[in-house]
Copies of this chain bind each other. A is one copy, B any other.
Amino acid sequence: MPVDAPRPRVVIVGGGFGGLYCAMGLRHSSVDVTLVDRRNFHLFQPLLYQVATGGLSPANIAAPLRGILKRQKNARVWLGEVADFDVATKEVIFTDGGRLPYDILVIAAGSTHHYFGKDSEWEPIAPGLKSIEDATEIRRNVLSAFEAAEREPDPEKRKQLMTFAVVGGGPTGVEMAGAIAELAHITMRKDFRAIDPAECRVLLIEGQTRVLPMFHESLSAKAAKSLKSLGVECWLDCHVTAVTPEFVEVTFDANKETRRVATKTIVWAAGVKASGLGRKLVERLAATAEVDRGGRVSVSPDCSIPGFPECFVIGDMMSLKNAEGKPLPGVAPVAMQQGHYVADVIDRRVRGKPARAPFSYWDKGSMATIGRGRAVVEVGRLKYAGFIAWLTWLFIHILYLARFENRALVLFQWFFNYVTRNRAARLITGMPVENHPTTRG
């Protein structure tokens, strides 16, 4: 390539694990990187449930993208929401009509909540946990429910206010249910006079026959035991059939029994679907790539769209099978590794080096925490639970969090906040109390 040829423009849509790691992976590449996100920060999603239960502040788990990339001279950050693609002119189109040209496109826009067809009805009542605003909304709902119960003279209404339903028994649901139970039984125990928060009811609703179904059975059993000791009730092998501001209704698959539980706080941790941008790009390209029901794009082994080597889809938005033929899960480590991988693919191409071997996911294992001091870890055939698992979980999270901030600061701040059971961030912000559903007339 002649010295003064323009450098390839790489546009990365999404500043989450996939997009950010891709941008950083290109720091020594002779390309111009533009990282686009509709938010100005990178969010460490695995810890959103901590914000949702007042254990951490948003700023503890989010880092401004500009701060992270400021020393990377070939990268810039562009705040905007991508709506469409002009594949003829090779431009990304924003919701406000603005356009951004690309030579290489990496789509890493993540996923959003999936309500199985009931999005418009259920979403306003049962927030998911994918964004900072989701987390602060859940926080507001949970804390306001206790506040309203303190003032409620009617025992039936009080019971309703002190009932919490978490839908989905994967890591997110288990973590949320455990954290709400901890908030009630430990942190806020002495804060009220008319009610005893420990008398609240926390329900965890799961469609399969065990919680954490993606983990080994023995770990599911340990998690269930920990949840029980925390005061969480697990309803298994059932699915939600109604979500209203007054109750949640569940049907058990085995005997078709239907149960209705009066509650004012429902958290949705049950399903995700990919950002619609994957399907949109495939349509615009008139590509033959399959897009599954969850919106995930089936990519080539190098994470590009079949037939369009300049377009990559990574993270929660893509569908790819691992060496054993099993589809890769929509988890952070997959996105991170694909981000780095695609950066390398692009770099080799630009340098004229031989192509990289197909993407191969290095499964370093899975973890889920059930509450302070309890977790489960599964790495290959190694499985363990309890306090050591929790320390592992804590350590890994601090390590990844600290990548983007002053390490000493994050470590200390986070460690103190979390370990001292402080939950100092349990503020009800964002909505005047008289407008809150739990305190409206």
Contacts and interface: CB of A to CB of B under 8 A. Distances in A.
Interface of A: 38-41, 57-60, 62-64, 66-67, 70-71, 76-81, 94-98, 132-133, 136, 143-144, 147-148, 150-151, 188, 190-194, 405-406, 409, 412-413, 416-417, 420, 422, 424-430, 432-434, 439-441
A251 B406 CA distance: 46
B151 A425 contact: no
25 contacts: A38-B433, A39-B433, A57-B58, A58-B425, A58-B429, A59-B427, A64-B191, A67-B191, A78-B150, A78-B151, A79-B144, A79-B147, A79-B151, A79-B428, A79-B433, A79-B439, A80-B433, A80-B434, A96-B441, A132-B429, A133-B429, A133-B430, A405-B424, A409-B422, A413-B416
Contacts of A70: 190-191
A370 to B, nearest CB: 24
B424 A40 contact: no
Nearest to A60: B57
Number of copies: 2
Contacts of A420: 406, 409
A62 B428 CA distance: 10
B147 A40 contact: yes
A96 B428 contact: no
Contact of A188 (B66, B98, B430, B440): B66
A265 B79 CA distance: 18
Contacts of A188: 66
A26 to B, nearest CB: 15
A441 B41 CA distance: 23
A41 B427 CA distance: 6
A108 to B, nearest CB: 18
A427 B147 contact: no
Which 3 pairs from chain A and chain B are nearest by CB? Answer: A66-B191, A59-B425, A79-B147
Nearest to A63: B424
Given A80-B439, A81-B432, 10 more contacts: A38-B432, A57-B57, A57-B59, A79-B439, A80-B434, A132-B429, A406-B422, A409-B416, A412-B412, A412-B413
A344 B151 CA distance: 28
A166 B190 CA distance: 43
A438 to B, nearest CB: 10
A43 B420 CA distance: 22
Contacts of A432: 38, 81
Nearest to A65: B191
Contact of A79 (B71, B132, B150, B430): B150
A416 B407 CA distance: 12
